[in-house]
Amino acid sequence: MVSRIDVTEEAKAVIKELVDKHGPLMFYQAGGCCEGTQPQCFEKGGFYPRMNDAMIGLVEGFEFWVDRDLFEYWKFSHFTLDVLDGFGPGGFSLESPLGKTFKIHYRLFTEEELKELPEVERNG
C-alpha cells in the first residue's frame, strides 16, 4: 500500500522533542486564513478537525488531518512533512517556540501509486 504522507529525518527529530515536552500530538493543515496552508502541530485534542476533513495518514504515529477543501485540491499528491528554521505564519504550532516551522513538500502520485492509495478517514 502507498502512503499519502512521509516525514523527513529532521522533522522526526523535532516531533520527538515535541512529544517529550507535550505528549501525544496531532497535525492539521488548513486551507487558508492566518496560517495559510502551513501544517500546524498541536497537542492531541488541542484542535478539532471540521466535518468532512481528511485524515491522510500517521506521522510518527500521530494523525495528520487536512482541511476538506484543501484535500480536494491536493488529493492526487504525496505529502512529505519537513521542518525548517524560522517562524511560519500564525505561530500557533508547537514547534514555533523552538525557532522551527513545519513545511510540506508535494509531488504528484504516479499512475501506479494512484491505484494503491488507501482511502482517507473523514471526520464526521
The pTM (predicted TM-score) of the whole model is 0.92
pLDDT tens-digit readout, 51-87 = 999 999 999 999 999 999 999 999 999 999 999 998 8
pLDDT at residue 33 tops 70: no
CA 115 from chain centre, in angstroms, equals: 22
Summarised one tens digit per residue, pLDDT across range 44-53 is 999 999 999 9
- Report residue 13's pLDDT band, with 50, 70 and 90 as the boundaries: very high
How far apart are the C-alpha atoms of 31 and 38, rounded to whole Å?
8
- All cell numbers assigned to 38: 502551513
Asked if 45 and 110 count as a contact pair (C-beta separation under 8 A), the reply is no
Dig out the grid coordinates for 19 from the structure.
512529544
pLDDT confidence band for 1 (50 / 70 / 90): confident
33 beta partners: none
Q: Examine the pLDDT at 31 and tell me if it is beyond 90.
A: no
Q: Which residue pairs from 86-91 have beta carbons closer than 8 angstroms and sit at least 24 positions apart in sequence?
A: 88/35, 88/36, 88/38, 89/34, 89/35, 89/36, 89/38, 90/34, 90/35, 90/36, 90/38, 90/40
